[in-house]
Amino acid sequence: MGCLILAQAPARADPRVELLEAARLGKVDNAKLLLLRGVDPNIREKTHGPVIVYAAREKSFAVVRALASDPRCEINEVNAQGEDALMFASLHGDLETVKLLLGRGAIVNRPGWTALHYAASGGHVAVARLLLEQHAYIDAASPGNVTPLIMAARHSQISMARMLVEEGADPTLKNDQGYTAADYWKRLKETAEETWMRQKAADFARRYGSSEASGGNGSSGSSASPVPGAAGGGTPSSGSPQAPARP
* Cβ pair 189, 195 in contact under 8 A: no
3-state SS assignment for residue 115: helix
The neighbouring-strand residues paired with 246 are: 235
Best CA proximity match to 101, nearest among 78, 74, 80: 74
Other CB atoms within 10 Å distance of the CB of residue 184? 23
C-alpha 35/C-alpha 29 separation (Å) is 10
Summarize pLDDT for 95-145 with one digit per residue, the tens.
999 999 999 999 999 999 999 999 999 999 999 999 999 999 999 999 999
pLDDT in tens, 171-213: 999 999 999 999 999 999 999 999 999 999 999 999 998 765 5
Residue 52: which pLDDT band, with cuts at 50, 70 and 90?
Answer: very high
80: closest CA among 230, 194, 232, 238? 238
pTM listed for this prediction: 0.83
**8 Å CB contact between 82 and 98:** no
